[in-house]
Structure 1
Amino acid sequence: MLWNSTLLPAEGFQAPPELPMHDHEAAPAGLPPEALLLDVRSYSEFMSGHVEGARCLPLPRLMEDIVHLVPDPSLPIVLYCSSGTRAEQALRQLRRMGYLHVSNGGTPQHLAGRLGRAVQRGM
């Protein structure tokens, strides 16, 4: 959002505080090659466009199926969804389950751009 400073009172104005950095803002930069990209949206959302190389594990199935997909809790995992919200929920669940290197990658477009990968449709 752009502000027109002429509309703001000069005295007493303070810039808004810096927002805290979320995991998805720092995670992909140093992404280990063995990191699993995990799309926590529904299967139909995944098919409509996902990061190249990602796997689909919808959030409602996460706690039940993650132990089969990723039995090693030290494996790096980058989660993403359409807005980053479900990925954040998944991140909290996985950390409670003992997964050590989990991060929120944000949206498919954002993550694909940061990784230099394509957003694919279908399989």
Structure 2
Amino acid sequence: MQSLIIQQQTNFLVATMSKYSSAVKNMEQTVMLPSLLQDIPLEVQDEAKDANSQSLYECFTLLKSIKNTVESGGLSFEDLKRKTNSAHELENEDAASLEQLFYVHVKGLCTVLNTLTKKANTLTSRYEDMIGVSS
């Protein structure tokens, strides 16, 4: 039973990563002139929460960078350890806590990938609106 649950979660994670990659590929194919995205805020002014919001260009480069890491697995364990700076905390956890921690991180990863997928789709739509292409 536990094996089936793990396989379903793995399939969900793979499907989420695939949707993200597809959305970013679509964005890359649509955005022919990324330089047009500079200095344009990601959020519409009414939706902007703070003055430091990302530009469409910054979002574009971030989404591409993450896609490359997702597709290639280019983030080594050492890089991951440095970025999170919390790997030492895992050494003292028992098996039950590690399992819970695993599920928390898988859920978090899926949430982040879903949010990034929405950003890629939003960026693509905004670019099409800017250049006058209707979907």
Normalising by the smaller structure, the TM-score range is under 0.3
If the length of structure 2 is used for normalisation, what is the TM-score?
Answer: 0.26
Higher relative CO (CA 8 A, sep ≥ 6), structure 1 or 2?
Answer: 2
If the length of structure 1 is used for normalisation, what is the TM-score?
Answer: 0.27
Structure with the larger helix share: 2
